Amino acid sequence: MSLLVDLVKRVMADGQLTSEENVEVQRAYAGATLEERNEAYALVNKGGCKAPDAGIVPCSLANLFRGLSGKRWDQYPVTAGGSGVSDPGKVAFVLPGSEEDKAFRGVLDLSRKGLVNIYREALRRNPNLKGNVAVELSVMPDGKVGGVRVVETEIKDKDFLAKYTNFLKGTVLPGHEKGSILVWKYEVKF
């Protein structure tokens, strides 16, 4: 049995999802295989979150899984398709502060000049342009970015966002474990 499935069973039995358990589930989810994620999510659905009068725990877990996978509970199992990649291979999530997170940030720090040029060009059109942009990148095993999706933004300039995401799509990040797709959240304040 997997750590993720064990955690889900424990949370369901306890009848509450504490903040510590929330973090534990996120970490276990990041290290779980697709099959383990599907098994854990089946337990959550069996707990009754589909029903309007469902308990708080199944729905809290369902919402947590939805956030981790980027999909609604009824679109599970997870594939990389939600992040712009059509290959339904193994998907793993990059945790903040992990080695992959540091390596990917290092590459984008070196590419900052290109990002600054895109922002300066947009500032010429709109001098008040500022805010946060959070994107989710699907990083293929060879380091190529297979997809970029804006998940949160305060900036409404569609031209700027299109150029920004296109720039990120052209970035090559460090390669990683063969056969997996890493989903990485990256946020910048302009």
> What stretch of H or E contains 20?
helix 19-31
- Look at 36 and 106; give whichever has higher pLDDT: 106
Instruction: Tokens for 155, please give them.
Output: 């900036």
6/32 Cα distance (integer angstroms): 12
Full-model pTM:
0.54
Domain boundaries, the chain: 3-78, 99-189
Q: What is the mean pLDDT of the chain?
A: 74
Q: Edge to edge, what strands does the sheet with 90-93 contain?
A: 90-93, 180-189, 132-139, 145-153
Q: pLDDT tens digits for 19-78?
A: 677 777 777 877 777 778 778 777 776 655 443 344 444 555 665 665 555 543 333 333
Nearest CA among 119, 114, 103, 110 for reference residue 189: 119
Place 122 in a pLDDT band, splitting at 50, 70 and 90: very high
- Look at 18 and 87; give whichever has higher pLDDT: 18
Place 87 in a pLDDT band, splitting at 50, 70 and 90: very low
Torsion of CA 98, 30, 162, 81, to 10 degrees: 150
